[in-house]
Amino acid sequence: MNKRFFVFVALILVMVIASCSPSAGSNPSGAGAAPAECASDAFGCAKIAPGQTIKIGMGAPMTGGDASFGIDISQGGRIAVTDAGELEGFKFELIAEDDSGTAEGGAAVANKLVADPTVVAIAGHIFSGATAAAIPIYEKVGLPMLSPSATNPPLAEMGSKVFNRIAFTDAIQGKFAGTYLYEKLGIRKLAVMHDGSDYGKGLAEIVRDTFTSLGGEVVSFSAITSKESDYTAPLAAVAATQPEALYFGGYTQDGAILANNMKQTGLENAIFFGCDGTYGQDFLDRTGANGNGAYAVSLTPADTDSKVKFDAAYEAAFGVKPGTLSPYTWNGYDVVAALIAQVKAVAIKGSDGNLYIPRGALVNAVRNLKDYQGLTGVFTCDAKGECNASGPLLVTIQDGKWVVAE
Amino acid sequence: MTALSSVSFKTPQLVARIIRSVIGIIVVVWAAMRIYNVLFVNQAYGLDTWVRFGITGLIIGGMYALIAIGYTLVYGILGMINFAHGEVMMIGTFGGYFVLEALAAIPAPTLANPDLNFLNAQPLLSILLAFLAGTLAASLMGYLLEKIAYRPLRNAPRLAPLISAIGASIFLQNAVQLLFSPQLRDYTNPDALARGTGWSIEIAGSQVLVTYTGVLSFVLSILLMVGLYVLVQKTRIGRAMRAVAQDKKTAALMGVDVDAVISQTFIISGALAGAAGVMWGIHNGLVYYFLGFIPGIKAFTAAVLGGIGNIPGAMLGGLVLGLVESIGPAALGIDFQLKDVIAFLILVLVLIFRPSGLLGAASVEEKL
């Protein structure tokens, strides 16, 4: 009895020692297995042992009312993982954790992902609130983030080293639209209208300021009451100022009525210029011929070869067309693919057969992303982590279809 | 003792009158200054723009008036506000929508145009059918509403039917949402009556468009209002309605079937709201479950503005409200986002200075 007990305890001890020994071996001063980069790296290295996967984390709403966003974006990311193949015999893996889109959820998921040493980068988070809560946690351990969809402008102003995003903010969209109206379309007299929402008003103000600073004249800046059925009166007031184009910050329901009513209030020749809120099939359906020549901002990328290939792969894998669950499907692919590309660039295969990924170097690599060609555009991150340098994709209606604007 | 009580009784009244006058003068002077500024100093809008505002106001005002009559009729007879009236209008809009959709699906090919459907082959008949369906659906709704939601509460305290009306309103919105999905649908007009087409009139050097749908709505609403006036003043039904409005008990003693008259009132007000609903659909183009809410509230405002219980008052109130909404913000030089503020401000002012509305509410003796 006693003997058996001792054997049992000895066995346990051996097992404990055995499980500890590899970590002892990974000590840089040890067998020299870990590369020298790990010692000099500010955050050390992530060590992936053979048989383990290189993990990309994601915090996303996977349950609740906004679940379609998390499910869709993570599915887009899974395609990127499949496309990425292997790195020195190591596979990639995307682990999407449910943060339900809230700040508390974001912090909880961040703490969970930080605890896993094989997580090397974060594709996310999805919602701005959850992202803001997660940033400080990743900051401490040096996990680079690349968000597909957090658009709240202040996120990039927090001075974080790890936070980056490929979603364009409303500020970028507004500047882009104002510049496009003045320079590409040659508009000099612009009427600006919004629906009174934070989103619409914010966009409208940025467009107004951008357009004015370029030297254009904003002849009217007004708000309408959202969800009405008839806007001929406010449009008649705008028509009296004889603008060449009408910028509208708001959503499709009001935008479509405006585009229709413009044709009967003396604004027949003015261009309707919308935003990402007025893009979509609904706008085409409701405006018909009145919509021709209208502009909007699209989150759906143009039909490049790689996009067509992705669409086919996505539909084959998940049975729905990309863009139906959320407009960020392609962004989901892009963030995961870009992170994997940067991991591949910094990863070092150790002489001991383990894969080492210097965390600090990866943080810098993601921030220094340059001319990366994704499905949704070309990404070059600036010093604050705003990576969408190509700006939003402008589309216009020709013959009842959205086409990419020149 | 008597002196004291008379003082304490009269002084607040006097103070209230002074405060009212001061507020009134301030508001009127302020409004006059703004209007003067817009008209003569800035000269922001030409005659063409004012005509455009006016057209918009008259069209929407006609629809408000038709719905407002429903509020006023029911108030005149039952002394209650039928808050589900906006939903009755929405049901009418849906009735017209489904008929137009069905007609558009019926092929009526001719040699010249094999793709022609019934809707475009017979636009007048189709529109007539749509109005018929809309009014029928809404009248039926009005009838059922009274039968189910109000009749059991006929002798209940005054608040009970009011709560029941709000409940009916919520129920109808949700029922329609569940039946027909919450999505927004487009009204299908015949090509001859396509939205945004109409006569172009040159005013002050610019082309002002008067839409066919707008003219149809306005003319039809005027015709219906005249028809209703004749009905109430010249027919047996109208006489019975006036009798019930004056005194239910005495009317019953004189052999008037009060329940039948109340049902008829709901059917008539439903029919008018249904017609307004189909106009709304044909002119504005969108139909969905929540459509009736805002016109309902606006028409209630119009009814109070004109003097609730007073039929010509509801007509005038509707047209005035429509015009104030479309002209008011421009005339005062403020944002169109505030048009509802102006509309309700006018209501508040009218209630302060003419508590019984523009044309005066019908008192018990002269209801309707």
A361 burial via Cβ count (<10 Å: 0-12, 13-18, 19+): buried
The domains of chain A are located at: 45-167+303-390, 170-293
Residue-level pLDDT at B358: 84
For residue A150 the two structure tokens come to 């957090």
CB contact under 8 A, A260 and B285: yes
Residue range B65-77: mean pLDDT, rounded: 93
CB contact under 8 A, B283 and A230: yes
For residue A387 the two structure tokens come to 């990576």
The DSSP letter of residue A30 is T
CA gap B363, B368 in Å, rounded: 9
Considering the domain architecture, whether residues B182 and B285 belong to the same structural domain is answered as yes
Residue-level pLDDT at A88: 87
CA gap A227, A255 in Å, rounded: 10
pLDDT value at A1 more than 60: no
Residue-level pLDDT at A2: 66
Residue range A146-162: mean pLDDT, rounded: 87
Q: Using 50, 70 and 90 to split pLDDT, how confident is the model at B355?
A: confident
CB neighbours of residue B15 within 10 Å? 10
CB A151 within 8 A of CB A129: no
CA gap A373, B327 in Å, rounded: 53
Angle (nearest 5°) at CA B280 between B170 and B141: 40
Q: Any idea what the CATH number is for the domain that residue B127 is in? A: 1.10.3470
Residues of B within 8 A of A196 (CB-CB) are: 337
The CATH classification of domain A170-293, taken from the options 3.30.465.10, 3.30.930.10, 3.40.50.2300, 3.40.50.300: 3.40.50.2300
Looking at the complex, report in whole angstroms how far the Cα of residue B189 sits from the nearest Cα belonging to chain A.
Answer: 13
For residue A291 the two structure tokens come to 């919509």
pLDDT value at B244 more than 50: yes
CB B198 within 8 A of CB B115: no
CA gap B156, B164 in Å, rounded: 11
pLDDT value at B250 more than 60: yes
Q: Which residue has the tokens 């805002």?
A: B294
CB B288 within 8 A of CB B182: yes
Please count the structural domains in chain B: 2
Length of chain A: 406
Considering the domain architecture, whether residues B96 and B169 belong to the same structural domain is answered as yes
pLDDT value at A11 more than 90: no
Mean pLDDT of chain B: 88
B280 compared with B116, residue with greater pLDDT: B280
Please indicate if any CB of chain A lies within 8 Å of the CB of B289: no
Considering the domain architecture, whether residues B34 and B64 belong to the same structural domain is answered as no
Report CA-CA distances (Å) from A296 to A129, A250, A277, A300.
26, 11, 8, 12
Residues of B within 8 A of A230 (CB-CB) are: 56, 60, 283-284
CB A326 within 8 A of CB A16: no
pLDDT value at B317 more than 80: yes
CA gap A45, A357 in Å, rounded: 5
Which residues between 290 and 319 in chain A have a beta carbon less than 8 angstroms from any beta carbon of chain B? 290
Please indicate if any CB of chain A lies within 8 Å of the CB of B38: no
Closest alpha carbon to A79 in A342, A373, A332, A338: A332
Closest alpha carbon to A394 in A174, A215, A191: A174
Mean pLDDT of chain A: 87
Please indicate if any CB of chain A lies within 8 Å of the CB of B341: no
Looking at the complex, report in whole angstroms how far the Cα of residue B44 sits from the nearest Cα belonging to chain A.
Answer: 7
pLDDT value at A22 more than 50: no
Considering the domain architecture, whether residues B87 and B215 belong to the same structural domain is answered as yes
Please indicate if any CB of chain A lies within 8 Å of the CB of B206: yes
CB contact under 8 A, A225 and B198: no
Handedness of CA B45, B48, B50, B55 (dihedral sign): negative
Full domain range(s) for residue B20: 1-44
CA gap B339, A297 in Å, rounded: 30
CB contact under 8 A, A260 and B195: yes
Task: Encode pLDDT of B93-117 as tens digits.
Answer: 999 999 999 999 888 888 888 888 8
Residue-level pLDDT at A333: 95
Task: Encode pLDDT of A205-251 as tens digits.
Answer: 999 999 999 999 999 999 998 888 889 999 999 998 899 999 999 88
User: Is residue B316 assigned to a domain?
Assistant: yes
pLDDT value at A6 more than 70: no
The DSSP letter of residue B41 is I
User: Is residue B143 assigned to a domain?
Assistant: yes
Which residues between 63 and 92 in chain B have a beta carbon less than 8 angstroms from any beta carbon of chain A? none
Residues of A within 8 A of B218 (CB-CB) are: none
Beta-carbon contacts below 8 Å between A and B: 90
Considering the domain architecture, whether residues B171 and B287 belong to the same structural domain is answered as yes
Is the peptide bond prior to A125 cis by the omega test (within 30 degrees of 0)? yes
Looking at the complex, report in whole angstroms how far the Cα of residue B354 sits from the nearest Cα belonging to chain A.
Answer: 28
Amino acid at A121: A
The CATH classification of domain A45-167+303-390, taken from the options 3.40.50.920, 2.30.29.30, 1.20.200.10, 3.40.50.2300: 3.40.50.2300
Considering the domain architecture, whether residues B24 and B111 belong to the same structural domain is answered as no
Please indicate if any CB of chain B lies within 8 Å of the CB of A233: yes
